[in-house]
Structure 1
Amino acid sequence: MEPNVFDKIQEVDLKKTMETSYIDYAMSVIASRALPDVRDGLKPVQRRVLYSMIELNNGPDKPHRKSARIVGDTMGKYHPHGDSSIYGALVYMAQKWNERYPLVDGHGNFGSVDGDGAAAMRYTEARLSKISMELLADIGKDTVNFMPNFDETEKEPTVLPARFPNLLVNGATGIAVGMATNIPPHNLREVISAVVRIIDNQVEEDRDTEIDEVMEIVKGPDFPTGATILGRSGIESAYRTGRGKIRVRAVYNIETMPNGKSRIIVTELPYMVNKARLIEKIASLVHEKKIDGITLLRDESNREGMRINIELRRDVNVNVVLNQLLRHTQLQDTYGVIMLALVDNQPKVMNLLQMLELYLKHQEDVVTRRTRYDLNKAEARAHILEGLLKALDHIDEVIRIIRASANVAEAKEQLIASFQFTDEQAQAIVDMRLRTLTGLERDKLLAEYQELMKRIEELRAILADRKVLLGVIKKEILEVSDKYGDDRRTEIGYDEFDIQDEDMIPDDDVVVTMTHLGYIKRMTADNFRSQNRGGKGIRGMQTIQDDYIDDLLMTTNRHPLMFFTNKGRVYRIKAYEIPEAGRTARGTAIINLIPLQKEEYVTAFVAAGELDEDQKYLTMATKRGIIKRTAVSEYANVRKNGLQAIVLREDDDLIEVKATNDREDIFMVSKHGMCIRFHETDVRVTGRVSMGVIGMRIDEDDQIVGMQLESQGEDLLVASEYGYGKKTPISEFRAQNRGGRGVLCYKIVEKTGNLIGAKIVDDSREIMLMTNEGILIQMTVEGISRIGRNTSGVKLMDIDRENGITVAGIAKVRTSDDTDDDMIEPQEESGEEMASETDRENEE
């Protein structure tokens, strides 16, 4: 009795089965059909077509082959799907209006920008383009992994070596399950230059690359059809987040004809816009009277280029018609960017920098594997040559052994026993031709061996040093850029939507103040009036208990400020982002403006926008006497979320940051009254993420209170916590090597207290002292006594020590441009006395 077929039926949960099956289907579409790999920028079908063509020896130096042969080979060996999808991929890679740098050289009718389809595959022919050979270069040198094909009769590459970043250069588009990708094409020179920048930063400066650096190089998409991108906001969004909308407008000219009429000539269309459908749409709008004034619409395109002629009536405003065309047709279109690709076979949305870094990582793997392959081949050949040369040195004995042997196996055994040849060397010797015995042939073998040893040394150097490896990658991709690079086709124009908030803010001079407890405010450029030495000062702000003004500087609204913290981090915001406040207002807590970490506070801030080209370095000092010098460029792209500026020990804090130029003498002053002077070149330039070196050795209970530069003035001015101070000519401090204890610069006694700060000044300057109660006094430097190093100075500010008031900080201000001594009467604000308005500018 035959078994009942229904006995084999298994009951399953339909919901679970549908879920499982759909997930399997979705992952198959995502990983095996619709999405490109970030490394070579190809979908599986494209990769298989190109690999089939190279296997068919269908290179750019060979005749074109029938497309049907290529499709059949691809389908039979690697891609078990319909021939139409394979031919479609082949056609797409040959269309110059779709691919910025076509990977296939098509011969025959491969369609048109009007949307015409390609001829049947039996009619068209194709071969690899020259640039596609760069994708396949060295594929036979174990540079990439291979996997079995669908029936395990062939091997196919999982990725191509890709000597240029094809994903960004040619872009990609695809719809998977639940996700899609739409990556625009880019200019080859720009993309390769961005990769080179990443390499240079790692090799020359040993640092990571910021996304702003590559965005300065890669200006934006470069479409094969040209056109104009409107504004940079969409580009910025796409490059920073992986998603964005880019507005693209056709290129057109408005011409006046001899009869006085106007016409609009369109010469370039946005990417992926079908010209025939565009013309049909314009005609439809005219017929429906949604656009009035067009008398003639004609496609005048030919082999020389695109040309759409739109003639207008004499009485219409050409700009009105143009705006209607841009609003209602694809003469202006939006390109939605989704930078989605496969990373380790998983879909991932990436920004521009991530894509470039993953490509570079792929190239490191490819070049490493190729180098190891070449090294193994070279070492094997060198091993054979060593045996041949050794045999030639003993040729008579070798010939005797071979002649006396009964067979090849015996000859090999005797050679190995007599000369310690390896089996490979012995085989090469018995295979050696008689002509090798001539002196000329021996010289050739010796020259080959010497050349091989040089090559082996080079290959080993590449494998031993990543910087050498990166240098090889840089050289190769620059060769691709030089060979195939061209000028941009797509211009980036102005967009009215690109107006930023910053553009509406006047770039006025402002004063920014920071308190000890981290309150910051921005004020108009009003300064405090000068007072004589020993005065009481005026109130500059309302303070809370234990708070006082710690620093101030003058800048402009639009200039960026860099905030350096005790933890060695740096943050960056624009001055206008700091809330404006009155002079007696406390201000805003800095933690509301920058994301400070736990127990982190600002110790120095610099007006980054005012650094000139000569100021190449940022020199930093810590309270434990460490000094560090780093190129300004390493801090050019600091964002609001911060960046590591210096590596610190647990017991150390960053206290001072200054811009220098390789020509400065640096002064470091400790609270115990010691000072050291040394040239800045004694401090070698290090990367951003480094610790620095010892600038001044100090006692355990001492700390650095100031770091100043020789160019800032003629005298070293110091102030103590109880209001005493003096100035001493900097000429009294001889330069010495960094790392010493320095010399005495201030005699500390009970009435003076320890030093709280030091500034290098000249007599044209004014200084401001600040107490822990927020009291400020401003005085001219000229009025302060100039005395020797081993002295305590004079009273600069009357301090009420009994109530715990001390001097907390010292700052420099520039004298007013006004020459008279008359002061403007103070204004009233919040019941507090206000200072007169001057035009002073703070130096730091």
Structure 2
Amino acid sequence: MGQPFEPPSGDGIESVELKSALEERYLAYALSTIMHRALPDARDGLKPVHRRILYGMRLLRLDPTTAHKKCAKIVGDVMGDFHPHGDQAIYDALVRLSQDFAQRYPLVDGQGNFGNIDGDGPAAYRYTEARLTEVARLLLDGIDEDTVDFRPSYNGEKEEPIVLPAAFPNLLANGSQGIAVGMATSIPPHNAAELCDAALYLITHPEATSAHLAKFVQGPDFPTGGILVDSAESIAEAYRTGRGAFRVRARWSKEDLGRGTWNIVVTEIPYGIPKARLIEKMAELLQEKKLPLLADVRDESAEDVRVVLEPRARSVDPVILMESLFRLTELEARIPLNLNVLVDGVVPRVIGLAECLRQWVDHRRVVLQRRSRFRLGQIERRLEILGGLLIVYLDLDEVIRIIREEDEPKAALIARFDLTEIQANAILDTRLRSLRKLEEMELKREFEALTAEKAEIEGLLGSDERQWKTVQAQIRAVKKTFGPETKLGRRRTTLENPPDTAGVDFTSALVEREPITVIVSEKGWIRALKGHVADLSGVSFKGDDALKIAFPSETTAKILLLASNGKVFTIEASKLPGGRGFGDPVRLMVDLDDGTEVVAALPYRPESRLLIAGSDGRGFLAPSDALVANTRKGKSVLGLDGDATAALLVPAGEGDHVAVCTADKLLLVFPITELSELARGKGVRLQRCRQTVLAGAHVFRLAEGLPWRDTAGQSRLANLGLLEKWMGHRSDAGSLMTRSFPKFERFGA
């Protein structure tokens, strides 16, 4: 055996609590993600990767007028100098900047396969080429003139801009999407000319709110066009808060084929939806018979989008067909707005439209001031040199003598003519051919011009009003370049009100109408048999389960379920499982509380009335529309006391009398006018139930008689004469059913 292992000494080891170490490291990661990856800068609308790509392309001199260069070269340079991440991430960002269906104003002019609207990916970067567009040139305009701050790149070898000068309102014009840690951003693209108009108004009216600016910015302007169907109020509210969503629909038209036949042609689809996926999903819904009004969908797109939708029959209303497709497919999309940006490039915050544009115009003013000071510095240096040269021209012979004869001509010139070192160097660097008389006149003209320009810039820097006027002139020039009369600047997304479809029953339009028989078992399993099945003796159940409720309906109907705790749930009949198996537990479809069960079920009929009652004999009439629940949680309708449970839910229809009976066969018939109509509550006492519970009820017309069934399944009818001894008033105990009701099983035909 060797020597025992000695543990290391504690020198240099620091004890750190795990919780604080994790918090510190996670916070550092979160801040890095928020600041350097996911959120755009409010001033230039760019994330670091995009800014580095554009700056890297500028260093490669890939201006709009130069030849394209391989994307592999661009990606390599950006990765090597500025962006220490994967080449694929950089290339994906570069590709998106060039896609005219993703960017409203592309920043990169790509040559080769850069993907398409179908969702296909681009070619590898060794095959594609790129250069900057005019929009990108505007974003970078003046970057070499000390307009923005620079910081060292990740390896300290080069410098990169913290923000771009941004002569173009890129944040809102091109939009941005990103997911950070604990926050996200989603900014749809907008129309640059409208943004310029809003910015000009903001400069002249500094107190303008987002509501004022929303008059200029009508709403998003997507590169793929489409129709915005939101109200002006909801758009203005989204711009005020910086949060909201926009509903965008595909643009379509009806194409007549002659002899009464027609197709629908979709020419623009919602932003961000891959066309191939859209058509694939529509084809799946078609196969699953969830689009009964549609016969076929075809993609006939070439350069432009052209999706042909063929109706099931010529009698189909095209508006209802399209409205049904908007509800079920991605032909209508919801584009979120979450204006979460880095304000001043530092603080992540959700801001409104006004502050968004304020950030841009304030940045433009700062850029103007810095550019002017940079130019002022250049002019002052040049004027200093010109001043020295003009002094020299007054005594050229002396200058030439000093240069020829003195050992230290520079010092001698400085002493003789009282020059600065810069002026002396400029004189010594002057070529002999520049000593002509003509050159002296040129220098005087340049001196005068630069002196005038210097005064102009000093005046600009000393006046806020002149600065804002210059910024306005720059914004007007951008607006002219991307105005509504230009191909790129013309608004593509139009604002329209959706057609009024309030009276259309879309449930029936979206589902193929077929007869079904709904079955609910004792243990709460539900299913739908095809057709109206009268004889249910052949229906099998799981284990010791048995039939509880059965009734005919249609696939387009809604089914109302009453639970024993007084809640009413709503299920779409089209979503019920088929009758091949045992069905599904109702609990999978609705949120039934523990210990509760389904006690009644029936098809929903709009604008009708229902009688709902509990085992304690209390109940009321309820409008059927008030019972429909839009969520899985249902609606609490019947209030219950003590141990009472909900017992029945029956249609009230046009009846004028109510028959109720208890479990021990006490029957009572009374006028329906004695009942109150409520949307929810405990109701009134229908029948006195001391030692028993309410077992059944039926609403009927007294003149037509009370229908009932015996245990053999035979239909019977009790007329007015027969019912006279059971007639009474609400809350009576009722009388025992005698020989008139032999072997009574239940009410109804």
TM-score band w.r.t. shorter chain: 0.5 to 0.7
Name the CA distance, whole Å, in 1 between partners of 2:198 and 2:500.
28
Please tell me whether the aligned partners of residues 261 and 311 of structure 1 are also in contact (alpha carbons under 8 angstroms): no
CA drift of 1:235 comes to 1.5
The answer to whether structure 1 residue 39 and structure 2 residue 43 are counterparts is: yes
Please tell me whether the aligned partners of residues 147 and 156 of structure 1 are also in contact (alpha carbons under 8 angstroms): yes
Partner residue in 2 for 1:12:
16
CA drift of 1:243 comes to 0.4
Please tell me whether the aligned partners of residues 144 and 160 of structure 1 are also in contact (alpha carbons under 8 angstroms): yes
Q: What TM-score results when the alignment is normalised by the length of structure 2?
A: 0.64
Please tell me whether the aligned partners of residues 131 and 484 of structure 1 are also in contact (alpha carbons under 8 angstroms): no
Output the aligned Cα RMSD: 1.9
Name the CA distance, whole Å, in 2 between partners of 1:168 and 1:460.
33
Match of 1:101 among 105, 112, 122: 105
Please tell me whether the aligned partners of residues 385 and 426 of structure 2 are also in contact (alpha carbons under 8 angstroms): yes
Partner residue in 2 for 1:395:
396
Name the CA distance, whole Å, in 2 between partners of 1:16 and 1:495.
55
CA drift of 1:194 comes to 1.2
Post-superposition CA distance 1:600-620 (Å, at most 9, x none): xxxxxxxxxxxxxxxxxxxxx
Partner residue in 1 for 2:277:
277
Partner residue in 2 for 1:120:
124
Post-superposition CA distance 1:524-563 (Å, at most 9, x none): xxxxxxxxxxxxxxxxxxxxxxxxxxxxxxxxxxxxxxxx
The answer to whether structure 1 residue 475 and structure 2 residue 481 are counterparts is: no
Name the CA distance, whole Å, in 1 between partners of 2:213 and 2:179.
28
The answer to whether structure 1 residue 457 and structure 2 residue 455 are counterparts is: yes
Name the CA distance, whole Å, in 1 between partners of 2:501 and 2:236.
11
Match of 1:173 among 174, 177, 196: 177
Alignment of 1:573-612 (within 5 A): none
The answer to whether structure 1 residue 372 and structure 2 residue 373 are counterparts is: yes
Partner residue in 1 for 2:430:
432
Q: What percent of counterpart residues are identical?
A: 45
Please tell me whether the aligned partners of residues 232 and 492 of structure 1 are also in contact (alpha carbons under 8 angstroms): no
Name the CA distance, whole Å, in 2 between partners of 1:321 and 1:211.
37
The answer to whether structure 1 residue 494 and structure 2 residue 497 are counterparts is: yes
What SS is found at the alignment partner of 1:167? Answer: helix
The answer to whether structure 1 residue 229 and structure 2 residue 228 are counterparts is: yes
Please tell me whether the aligned partners of residues 226 and 269 of structure 1 are also in contact (alpha carbons under 8 angstroms): yes
Post-superposition CA distance 1:414-443 (Å, at most 9, x none): 222122111111111122222222121111
What SS is found at the alignment partner of 2:258? Answer: coil
Distance 1:498 1:185, change over 3 A: farther
Distance 1:137 1:292, change over 3 A: same
Name the CA distance, whole Å, in 2 between partners of 1:112 and 1:154.
35
Post-superposition CA distance 1:324-359 (Å, at most 9, x none): 101101111111100110014221100000011111
CA drift of 1:238 comes to 1.7
What SS is found at the alignment partner of 1:386? Answer: helix
Name the CA distance, whole Å, in 1 between partners of 2:447 and 2:283.
75
The answer to whether structure 1 residue 158 and structure 2 residue 162 are counterparts is: yes
What SS is found at the alignment partner of 2:131? Answer: strand
Name the CA distance, whole Å, in 1 between partners of 2:322 and 2:125.
41
CA drift of 1:317 comes to 3.1
Alignment of 1:760-779 (within 5 A): none
CA drift of 1:480 comes to 1.9
Name the CA distance, whole Å, in 2 between partners of 1:498 and 1:154.
62
Which residue identity lines up with residue 25 of structure 1 in the other structure? Y
What SS is found at the alignment partner of 1:273? Answer: coil
Partner residue in 1 for 2:266:
266
Distance 1:416 1:10, change over 3 A: closer
Partner residue in 2 for 1:318:
318
Alignment of 1:346-357 (within 5 A): 346-357=347-358
Partner residue in 1 for 2:386:
385
Distance 1:126 1:419, change over 3 A: same
> Which protein shows a greater Rg?
2
Name the CA distance, whole Å, in 1 between partners of 2:18 and 2:244.
40
Please tell me whether the aligned partners of residues 60 and 127 of structure 1 are also in contact (alpha carbons under 8 angstroms): yes
Name the CA distance, whole Å, in 1 between partners of 2:7 and 2:60.
52
Name the CA distance, whole Å, in 1 between partners of 2:227 and 2:447.
58
Name the CA distance, whole Å, in 2 between partners of 1:363 and 1:462.
14
Which residue identity lines up with residue 212 of structure 2 in the other structure? E
Alignment of 1:530-541 (within 5 A): none
Distance 1:233 1:208, change over 3 A: closer
The answer to whether structure 1 residue 90 and structure 2 residue 94 are counterparts is: yes
What SS is found at the alignment partner of 1:12? Answer: coil
Partner residue in 1 for 2:134:
130
Post-superposition CA distance 1:590-634 (Å, at most 9, x none): xxxxxxxxxxxxxxxxxxxxxxxxxxxxxxxxxxxxxxxxxxxxx
Partner residue in 2 for 1:412:
410
What SS is found at the alignment partner of 1:209? Answer: coil
The answer to whether structure 1 residue 65 and structure 2 residue 69 are counterparts is: yes
Post-superposition CA distance 1:75-126 (Å, at most 9, x none): 1111111111101100010000110000000111110111101111111111
Q: How many residues align?
A: 490
What SS is found at the alignment partner of 1:267? Answer: strand
CA drift of 1:161 comes to 0.6
Partner residue in 2 for 1:334:
334
Please tell me whether the aligned partners of residues 233 and 498 of structure 1 are also in contact (alpha carbons under 8 angstroms): no
Name the CA distance, whole Å, in 2 between partners of 1:498 and 1:432.
83
Please tell me whether the aligned partners of residues 435 and 441 of structure 1 are also in contact (alpha carbons under 8 angstroms): no
The answer to whether structure 1 residue 149 and structure 2 residue 147 are counterparts is: no
Name the CA distance, whole Å, in 2 between partners of 1:234 and 1:198.
22
CA drift of 1:249 comes to 0.9
What SS is found at the alignment partner of 1:131? Answer: helix
Partner residue in 1 for 2:308:
309
Give unpaired runs (5+ residues) of structure 1.
Answer: 202-206, 500-844
CA drift of 1:10 comes to 4.7
Alignment of 1:718-729 (within 5 A): none
Alignment of 1:515-530 (within 5 A): none
Name the CA distance, whole Å, in 2 between partners of 1:126 and 1:249.
33
Which residue identity lines up with residue 459 of structure 2 in the other structure? A
Please tell me whether the aligned partners of residues 232 and 498 of structure 1 are also in contact (alpha carbons under 8 angstroms): no
Name the CA distance, whole Å, in 2 between partners of 1:36 and 1:3.
54
Partner residue in 2 for 1:834:
none
What SS is found at the alignment partner of 1:353? Answer: helix
